[in-house]
Amino acid sequence: MEDLIQVVDWSRLQFALTAIVHWLFVPLTIGISLIVAVMETIYHRTKSEKWLKTTKFWMTLFAINFAIGVATGIILEFEFGTNWSNYSWFVGDIFGAPLAIEGLLAFFMEATFFAVMFFGWKKVSPGFHLASTWLVAIGVSLSALWILIANAWMQYPVGMEFDPDQMRNVMSDFIAVATSPVAINKFFHAVTSGWVLASVFVIGVSCIIAAKGKNMQMAKDSVKVAGWIGLIGMIFTMWTGDGSAVEVARVQPMKLAAMEGLYRGEIGQELIGFGIVDEKNRDVKCKIAIPKGLSILANHDANSFVPGIDDLIDGVALTPQGDTINTISYAQRIEIGKAAQQALRDYEAARKAGDEVALANALERIKANYPFFGYGYFNSPEDAVPPVALTFYSFHIMVIAGGYLLLFLIVALFVVYKKPTWFDTRLARWIGVLSIPVVWICSEAGWIVAEVGRQPWTIQDILPVQAAVSAVAAESVQLTFWLFAIVFAALIAAEISIMVNEVKKGTNKEITEE
């Protein structure tokens, strides 16, 4: 048992490391590909040499991050087979389909037109080149779509049936998987937040370029394009963030409770803006809260009830009138899950014995109890509670950083249009540069909320992490964890070095209308 716990913990750490590193590049490539496409469109309309060189400069930075994003993404997908083989077996028919489509359709389109975009400036017509650039941007977003459909299915499994003969889940409705409201909302939230990240990155780098004084106009033009894309992206990110809260409240209420450090819910539940989680006493101390804010965010009803962690464990809810409603407690879910697993064992025994009556009886019990199949792996309701403090702080860091970024983008546009002399100040440049790590912290915090908040599940209510891991030695996972850590550190160092050199070229070589 102790070795299993170590395997689970180290496998989770390794996957978290890979995902966090991969997510450094995904939103940047999503957003910067759009910025490059807009810039090339301006060049195509104006035929300005400055816009051509500006487009090529940002295209180079996109290519650097695209290459490393592909490398880390391949490693991430391999880990499903090496570290999470039970998961891959149990739901491979469903989870693998969106990833296969991503590889065959979206990534193929990206790779094909990326070559034309990057190397085809003098080999194809300007119109075809512009179309290729836009197709790369579309392809990057389509890749994100299919990957996020797969991830959303883990958060909210739909369109499937459990086949007891195969002892695994099979897809029954591909449309339900692809059009899940959780998936659609997650896609738009991730893509538009990528616009924000890339825009802040472009503005920050433009501040570095402006500091050298040679390409001030290029820097200002870049800020204008990035600022508008970032502001539009932020508006849609906030809108889809509201939609995400509604979906989480509907299908993952335990995650929502952890996000707010909420142990006992109320009618007209407040929304905590700041606080310190006290897990021992199951409370949040020193909190600053918005009255009825969580009820509005989760249910769009100021007087609605939002259940806390203890409410969910106990299986209770409140009506708007304050009356108690009994729901399914976590202790009952564990009993139902164990009943489903026992029914599955009975089914296998009946199948081997050729007992059709017992087989039909076991199948009926499997179908009735399967929605809580995964709870049968737990010994206590507390086993189903995610890490509250990490989820809480990640969520609030994301929200606070997002508020700052909205203000930053508004001010950046105001300065570049109305107060361009402010752009020349050292303070403005420092704010621009320091905002780059802020936007990455915001992005990574959001990813942590999404993934840590659904723990201990790999598939919500169906398969917890301890049942999803591969049968490997803990030492093997530890070794590969540190090897990946070294490789990723080297990749990031190389990426930063290459980008710094490219930015230096952009600052030292003046861009003119030659």
CA nearest to 454, candidates 185, 244, 255? 255
Average pLDDT score over residue span 39-61 = 90
**Is pLDDT larger for residue 361 or for residue 428?**
361
Tell me how far CA of residue 458 lies from CA of 80, 88, 121, 151, 325, in angstroms: 11, 11, 45, 10, 29
Average pLDDT score over residue span 95-106 = 80
Four-residue CA torsion sign, 26, 251, 448, 438:
positive
For residue 152, pLDDT over 80 is answered with yes
Check: CB of residue 133 under 8 Å from CB of residue 37: yes
Kindly list the domain boundaries of the chain, sorted by start residue: 26-251+390-473, 258-326, 330-381
pLDDT band of 439, cuts 50, 70, 90: very high
pLDDT value for 514: 47
241-298 pLDDT tens trace:
888 888 888 889 999 999 999 999 888 889 888 889 888 888 888 888 889 988 888 8
For residue 509, pLDDT over 80 is answered with no
pLDDT band of 100, cuts 50, 70, 90: confident
Residue type, 54: T
Q: Is the pTM value of this prediction over 0.85?
A: yes
The single residue listed with the structure tokens 């809480």 is 392
Percent of the chain with pLDDT over 90: 37
Q: Across all residues in the chain, what is the average pLDDT?
A: 87
